[in-house]
Chain A
Amino acid sequence: MTPRSLIAALASAALLVSPRPATAQSGGGSLPMPPPPSGAQRPAGAAQATSTPAPAASGKPAAAEAGKPAEATAAKPAEAAPPAPKKVDPAVFDEALQDYFDGKPRDAAGPLYAWLQQAPKTDENYAWGQYFLARSLIDLGLTHAGASYLARIARERSNPNVLPRALDALKQLTDRPHDEVMIDEQVFGALDLGFLPEETGAYAHYQQGLVDLRVGNERWANTHFAKLTETSPEASHARFALLVTRLKSVKEPSDELIADFLTLSKDEKLTREARNESALAVARLRYERKDYPGALEAYGLVKLPELDPGRASLYLEEAWTRYKLGELRASLGILTTLDAPSFRDEFLPDKYLLRALIYRDLCHYLPAKRAAKELTRRFADSLEAVRNREDLTQDARLRRAANARGSTQRAARFVEVLELEGERLGRYAGSFGDQLFSHLTKLYDLSRAEAVRVHDARLAEAVRQEADTLLRAAEQVRLMEYEVGLKLYERVKKGAKVVAPEDEQELSPANVAFRFDGEYWNDELKSYRVRIESRCIEETP
């Protein structure tokens, strides 16, 4: 044994026994490779193929590898050798393909998998077999399993005709919860970009730029983004990502930055969600600069689908902006919106604080005190858990709040998808055959375990942030209660009188008013106004 082969064997053995690294990994990366076609043709690297994320043969012809010394195989105990698969008739591939094109993906999947197990990787149809197996699985609602095969095609690159189709299919899968590491990072983030069709290439450039941005390398990201066509949707998304990244690093956002976000909020090439995010960024930046009318104008740029209830955080931010503008009644109206069933489970401790502030400003001290107390009452369990230093991920409210945002939300949704697809897989136990079924079961078990690990890691951090928010609000509320308590028993000076009521805006003929009686209509959520008199008194008559 040469030193080099010894090192290779030791490395293989180490890979077999070493635990998974703690960093986020692709569930699909741990996809067990199909056993080699036969003992004679088994590639030297097959020992690690069953457990390592990287493809085993890297697309090399099996016959060429057969001549290599079999030192690597020595690392694997002889008794663990997988049973040789049965021979599969090459006609199986054609029949399976026919089934697929006849709209019977259920019948196609099992034979395709059996054929892939038997066929050498150098077979000209091997990548096509993987592709149609992936399509069959996706058609059957097993998107993650399908994606893992598409990702393998992208990594192995054995057939240039299949590759663009596989990448297109993968790109479509990114619209729904997916394995971000396997697809975004390991495929699109690591592709050789020279050979790709324009559209897929643009998406890959965008993804690779994002990866660079995430690790803080804006210059490298810009080299990718510069290759995007100026008018492409990816270019707009890239600008948005760049601006968000810059926003994180600057202390005082410049006018230029706000103007850039404003431009993006009107960019039709972006998705509506991205445009809304840009408008929200403008509103938040203007709010921070105390440009409240400007912030309100930016909130108006957020466009929602018909009858969409919208986002609770957006309403709350607008309520704060109106409060700062002195539009107390409008602000109180928006807080009414936040009591709607659509937002009942939202984690918005600020809502109670703002309501208390408004009532206090209108000198309705009892309601102000009640609103303040409502926060501590409603979040009593969570506050108790924080004080007792319990595991906050077990607190239902904090957990739900953390799962409703950002990367934790994405991770939670991916776990849900895997669980759903794992259950769905059970339905196909009969038609897939034992081999494919057990293979997919293992794939889903491994992927789910990894997805849960990633989710738990993100959840722990997100829950801590939500707890911080809650504690800050609780602190403010305590101050408020104290202040209101003082006001309640304040003596009214002689000669003081109630302040003159504000002139109410008359309804114009173009307006229509529906009195609210506790029934929420989605089309009214943005329109609530409260008529309430101020009970404040003028100290100096």
Chain B
Amino acid sequence: MRYALLILLFLVPGLARAQAEALENPGAVSAIQERRYRMHHELLLGVGVLPDDAFYKGLTGNVSYTYHFSDTFGWQVGRGTYSYNLQTSLRTQLERDFDVAPVSSASEDQVQWMVGSDLVWSPLYGKTAFLNSTVLHFEAFLLGGGTVVKLNRSGGFRPAANVGLGLRLFSSQAISFRFDVTNNVVFTGASRINNVLSVQLGTAFNFGATE
């Protein structure tokens, strides 16, 4: 009881000050604006890399179509990625200098292409000032879905779960730029999984959005 009184005693000046502040400057101010950029039918063309495998790096070309139900929720109906793979110097060195080939799975797990579909949730929409002279609008989103991955082996179709996040920078109502980082958890065997990290940069064309 004594402690409660003591705490109350300490709180009183703060509360009184807050009340005085509210009395002197009543009200809360917000800038309420029309949302400037709204997505509807989105076609994305992009390029990227599959950077995380030590024995190869994939240079990817990507295309996708997304339907946006609202400003915060959309469905990436389909996406396709083709990967042009380059062997790393590590693998070359192993083969040339030590006459050692990586385990076969390392070669066979190379991604050739993949297709999939995701749900997109965009909880963040904001703006930032560029050089104190231009206002840039952006949104950040999370996505998750499923993928079918074609690996570099015969009959190499494997399922995968895809999760990632991205950032979209609006340029105009029709064009925006997207930066996506996703990870496909590929079920390469009965008890084996392989993570395929993908980083991509693309231009998104937006159709059918109202002002």
Chain A interface residues (CB < 8 Å from chain B): 307, 329, 332-333, 336, 359, 362, 364, 366-367, 370, 507, 509-516, 521-524, 527-533
Is B26 touching A307 in the complex (CB atoms < 8 A)? no
Counting chain A CB atoms within 10 Å of each CB, which of B125, B133, B135 scores highest?
Answer: B135
Is A528 touching B135 in the complex (CB atoms < 8 A)? no
User: Is B38 close to A, CB under 8 A?
Assistant: yes
Q: A367-B24, A521-B129, A530-B27 are in contact. Are A510 and B135 (CB under 8 A)?
A: no
| A-B residue pairs in contact (CB < 8 Å), sample of 8 | A307-B133, A367-B24, A511-B33, A513-B30, A521-B127, A521-B135, A532-B26, A532-B27
**Mask: chain B, 16-39; 1 = CB below 8 Å from A; 0 = not:** 000000011111111111110010
Is A530 touching B29 in the complex (CB atoms < 8 A)? yes
**Mask: chain B, 132-145; 1 = CB below 8 Å from A; 0 = not:** 01110000000000
Q: How far is the CA of A305 from the CA of B127 in the complex (A)?
A: 19
From A307, A333, A366, B135 is in contact (CB under 8 Å) with A307
Which residues of A are found within 8 Å of B134, using beta-carbon distances?
307
Q: How far is the CA of A362 from the CA of B28 in the complex (A)?
A: 14
Looking at the assembled complex, report how far the CB atom of A250 sits from the nearest CB atom of chain B, in whole angstroms. Answer: 39
- A512-B35, A516-B30, A533-B26 known, 8 other contacts, Cβ within 8 Å: A510-B34, A510-B35, A512-B34, A516-B28, A516-B29, A516-B31, A531-B28, A532-B26
Is A530 touching B31 in the complex (CB atoms < 8 A)? no
User: Is B87 close to A, CB under 8 A?
Assistant: no
Which residues of B are found within 8 Å of A527, using beta-carbon distances?
31-33
Q: A516-B30, A528-B29, A529-B29 are in contact. Are A511 and B24 (CB under 8 A)?
A: no
Q: A307-B135, A521-B129 are in contact. Are A512 and B25 (CB under 8 A)?
A: no
Q: A307-B135, A370-B24 are in contact. Are A529 and B38 (CB under 8 A)?
A: no
Q: How far is the CA of A515 from the CA of B30 in the complex (A)?
A: 4
Which residues of A are found within 8 Å of B27, using beta-carbon distances?
329, 332, 530-532
User: Is B70 close to A, CB under 8 A?
Assistant: yes
Is A336 touching B29 in the complex (CB atoms < 8 A)? yes
Is B24 touching A366 in the complex (CB atoms < 8 A)? yes
Q: Do most interface residues of chain A lie in helix, strand or loop, or is the interface mixed? A: mixed
Is B24 touching A523 in the complex (CB atoms < 8 A)? no
Q: How far is the CA of A90 from the CA of B208 in the complex (A)?
A: 71
Q: How far is the CA of A179 from the CA of B35 in the complex (A)?
A: 47
Is A511 touching B35 in the complex (CB atoms < 8 A)? yes
Count of inter-chain pairs, beta carbons less than 8 A: 80
Is A513 touching B31 in the complex (CB atoms < 8 A)? yes
Q: A509-B71, A532-B26 are in contact. Are A524 and B34 (CB under 8 A)?
A: no
Looking at the assembled complex, report how far the CB atom of B136 sits from the nearest CB atom of chain A, in whole angstroms. Answer: 11
Is B31 touching A528 in the complex (CB atoms < 8 A)? yes
Which residues of A are found within 8 Å of B24, using beta-carbon distances?
366-367, 370
Q: How far is the CA of A527 from the CA of B23 in the complex (A)?
A: 24
Q: How far is the CA of A511 from the CA of B135 in the complex (A)?
A: 18
Is A366 touching B129 in the complex (CB atoms < 8 A)? no
Q: A511-B34, A512-B35, A524-B33 are in contact. Are A367 and B23 (CB under 8 A)?
A: yes
10 closest A-B pairs (Cβ-Cβ)? A532-B27, A524-B31, A516-B29, A527-B31, A530-B27, A514-B31, A512-B35, A527-B33, A513-B30, A531-B28
Which residues of B are found within 8 Å of A515, using beta-carbon distances?
28-30
Give the number of chain B interface residues (Cβ < 8 Å): 22
Which residues of B are found within 8 Å of A524, using beta-carbon distances?
31, 33
Is A523 touching B32 in the complex (CB atoms < 8 A)? no
Which residues of B are found within 8 Å of A509, using beta-carbon distances?
35, 70-71
Which residues of A are found within 8 Å of B31, using beta-carbon distances?
513-514, 516, 521, 524, 527-529
Q: How far is the CA of A511 from the CA of B35 in the complex (A)?
A: 5
Q: How far is the CA of A332 from the CA of B29 in the complex (A)?
A: 9
Is B30 touching A528 in the complex (CB atoms < 8 A)? yes
Is B30 touching A510 in the complex (CB atoms < 8 A)? no
Looking at the assembled complex, report how far the CB atom of A168 sits from the nearest CB atom of chain B, in whole angstroms. Answer: 34
Residue of A nearest to B129 (CB): A521
Residue of B nearest to A530 (CB): B27
Q: How far is the CA of A521 from the CA of B133 in the complex (A)?
A: 10
From A370, A513, A532, B32 is in contact (CB under 8 Å) with A513
Looking at the assembled complex, report how far the CB atom of A339 sits from the nearest CB atom of chain B, in whole angstroms. Answer: 10
Is B34 touching A514 in the complex (CB atoms < 8 A)? no
**Mask: chain B, 60-86; 1 = CB below 8 Å from A; 0 = not:** 000000000011000000000000000
Q: How far is the CA of A313 from the CA of B30 in the complex (A)?
A: 22
Which residues of B are found within 8 Å of A367, using beta-carbon distances?
23-26
Q: How far is the CA of A532 from the CA of B71 in the complex (A)?
A: 29
Q: How far is the CA of A329 from the CA of B32 in the complex (A)?
A: 13
Q: How far is the CA of A532 from the CA of B26 in the complex (A)?
A: 6
Looking at the assembled complex, report how far the CB atom of B18 sits from the nearest CB atom of chain A, in whole angstroms. Answer: 15
Looking at the assembled complex, report how far the CB atom of A92 sits from the nearest CB atom of chain B, in whole angstroms. Answer: 48
Q: How far is the CA of A528 from the CA of B34 in the complex (A)?
A: 12
Q: How far is the CA of A364 from the CA of B25 in the complex (A)?
A: 9
Is A512 touching B33 in the complex (CB atoms < 8 A)? yes
Q: How far is the CA of A523 from the CA of B29 in the complex (A)?
A: 15
Q: A366-B23, A367-B23, A509-B71 are in contact. Are A530 and B28 (CB under 8 A)?
A: yes
Counting chain B CB atoms within 10 Å of each CB, which of A370, A507, A510, A522 scores highest?
Answer: A510
Q: How far is the CA of A521 from the CA of B31 in the complex (A)?
A: 9
Residue of B nearest to A525 (CB): B31
Which residues of A are found within 8 Å of B127, using beta-carbon distances?
521, 523
Q: How far is the CA of A49 from the CA of B31 in the complex (A)?
A: 64
From B28, B70, B135, A523 is in contact (CB under 8 Å) with B135
Residue of B nearest to A507 (CB): B32
Is A511 touching B32 in the complex (CB atoms < 8 A)? yes
Q: How far is the CA of A359 from the CA of B26 in the complex (A)?
A: 9
Looking at the assembled complex, report how far the CB atom of A107 sits from the nearest CB atom of chain B, in whole angstroms. Answer: 37
Is B28 touching A514 in the complex (CB atoms < 8 A)? no
Which residues of A are found within 8 Å of B133, using beta-carbon distances?
307
Residue of B nearest to A332 (CB): B27
Looking at the assembled complex, report how far the CB atom of B36 sits from the nearest CB atom of chain A, in whole angstroms. Answer: 8
Q: How far is the CA of A160 from the CA of B31 in the complex (A)?
A: 60
Which residues of B are found within 8 Å of A529, using beta-carbon distances?
29-32
Q: How far is the CA of A362 from the CA of B24 in the complex (A)?
A: 13
Q: How far is the CA of A516 from the CA of B135 in the complex (A)?
A: 17
Residue of B nearest to A532 (CB): B27
Which residues of B are found within 8 Å of A512, using beta-carbon distances?
32-35, 125
Looking at the assembled complex, report how far the CB atom of A246 sits from the nearest CB atom of chain B, in whole angstroms. Answer: 38
Counting chain A CB atoms within 10 Å of each CB, which of B29, B70, B71 scores highest?
Answer: B29
Q: How far is the CA of A507 from the CA of B32 in the complex (A)?
A: 8
Looking at the assembled complex, report how far the CB atom of B127 sits from the nearest CB atom of chain A, in whole angstroms. Answer: 8
Which residues of B are found within 8 Å of A523, using beta-carbon distances?
33, 127, 135
Q: A524-B31, A527-B31 are in contact. Are A510 and B38 (CB under 8 A)?
A: yes
Looking at the assembled complex, report how far the CB atom of A191 sits from the nearest CB atom of chain B, in whole angstroms. Answer: 43
Is A514 touching B23 in the complex (CB atoms < 8 A)? no
